[in-house]
Structure 1
Amino acid sequence: MLSAISIGLQNPKSAVNVATILRAAGCFGVSSVFYTGERFSYAKQFSADTKAFHKTIPTVAIESLQAAKPQGATVVGIELVEGATPLPAFEHPDNAFYLFGPEDGSLSESHLAMCDEVVYIPTLSSLNLAVTANIVLYDRLAKSQYDTSLEGIRNSRDTNNRLRL
C-alpha cells in the first residue's frame, strides 16, 4: 500500500455517508478524517460503520481544512470541475490529503485554491459522496503494490466468510 492518506470533508451532511467513508478509510488504510461544518455533528451516528472504524481512525471536527493539511501532503481535490484530471489518468501521490465537497454542493473556491491537483470521476451523472470516496480510495489501491497473498484475503474477509475456490 502507499504511505500516507488523509481525508478532508467540507461540511458533510449525512452521517451515513461519513460512516460509510470511515468504513472505506479502515479498509484502504486512511490514517485520519477531518470535517468542517456543523451538519454532521448534529446528525452524528455511525450506523453504516459496521466495523467501528470511528473508534480507531481519528475523525476530527475542525474549523478549516487548510489547518488540517498533513505535513508534506499533496492536496487532491475531488470535484466535477472543468480542467480537472480524470481519475483513470491520475497518479496518486504517496502522501495525499483528499478533499471532498458536501453531498449537496461543491468544494468551495478557497478549498479548490489549496489543491495541488484536482481530479474528477468520469460518469454520466454526479455520484454520492461516500461512493466517490470509495472509488478514489480503490483507484489508489488498484494503482499500487497491494497484498495478493492468501493471508491478505483471510485478514480482509468477514469472520463468517470461509469460502475457498
Structure 2
Amino acid sequence: MLVSAHVSLGLVNPKSAVNVASILRAAGCYGVDHVLYTGQRYRYAKDFNADTRAFHKMIPTIGVEDLFECKPTASKVVVVELVEGAIPLPEYSHPDNAFYVFGPEDGSVNENILSRADDVVYVPTFHCMNLAATANVLLYDRMSKRRYDASNERIRQSRDQNNRTRVLS
C-alpha cells in the first residue's frame, strides 16, 4: 500500500507546455496533489498541451505570483537543481510532506528560492536533463524509497487498457 503523504510540485516559469504536460502525467502516476507554476509562458501555451491522460483536469495546476505564498502548510521545500553543494538524489531521504521546486528549462532557480529551501537535491547525470525528465526521476525515486503496492491488482489498475500481458512461470 502506498504511504499517505502530501506531495506538491512548484515550477518556476516553465517554458514548454509539452514538458508541463509530461510533468502532469508523472504527477498522476506518482500521486502528486497539485502543481503550482509562476510566470506567463506556460499560461500562454497550456491549451496546446500533450497531457494524453488529461491529468490537467484531475490535478489542480495553478498559476501563482510567488510559489512560497501558496506552499502547502507543513511541507518541506526541496529544490531540485544542478548546483554545487546539492545532495545527490540517490543519497536523499524524502520528507513525508514535500514541496518540490524545479527551475525553468532555460535557466536556474534563483538565489532567493535556493535560500528558502529546506533541502537542495540534484539528479546525477552526465548532462543536464529536461524539466519533465527530472520530475519523473525525482518522483520515481521518492516512490521507490517508500512502501508501495507491488501487487498484480496495482498493475491491472495502472496499465494501459490495451495491455493484458502476463509473465508466465
TM-score, normalization by structure 2: 0.95
Over 3 Å counting, the alpha-carbon distance change for 1:164 and 1:131 in structure 2 is: same
Correspondence for 2:67: 65
Unaligned 5+ segments in structure 1 are none
Cα displacement string for residues 77-98 of structure 1 (whole angstroms, at most 9, x for unaligned residues): 0001111000000000000000
The offset of 1:46, in angstroms, is 5.3
Quick check: 1:9–1:35 contact (8 Å CA) kept in 2?
Answer: yes
Please point out which of 28, 32, 44 is paired with 1:30: 32
Over 3 Å counting, the alpha-carbon distance change for 1:23 and 1:46 in structure 2 is: farther
Correspondence for 2:124: 122
The offset of 1:47, in angstroms, is 3.5
For residues 55 and 100 of structure 1, the distance between their equivalents in structure 2, rounded to whole angstroms, comes to 22
Secondary structure, in 3 states, of the residue corresponding to 1:44? helix
Identical columns (%): 61
In the TM superposition, structure 1's runs of 4+ consecutive aligned residues that sit over 4 Å from their partners are none
Unaligned 5+ segments in structure 2 are none
Please point out which of 92, 96, 101 is paired with 1:94: 96
Over 3 Å counting, the alpha-carbon distance change for 1:142 and 1:46 in structure 2 is: farther
The offset of 1:68, in angstroms, is 1.5
The offset of 1:45, in angstroms, is 3.0
What letter corresponds to residue 90 of structure 1 in structure 2?
A: Y
Correspondence for 1:52: 54
What letter corresponds to residue 121 of structure 1 in structure 2?
A: V
TM-score, normalization by structure 1: 0.98
Indicate yes or no: 2:127 matched with 1:145: no
The offset of 1:124, in angstroms, is 0.8
The offset of 1:111, in angstroms, is 1.0
Please point out which of 131, 134, 145 is paired with 1:132: 134
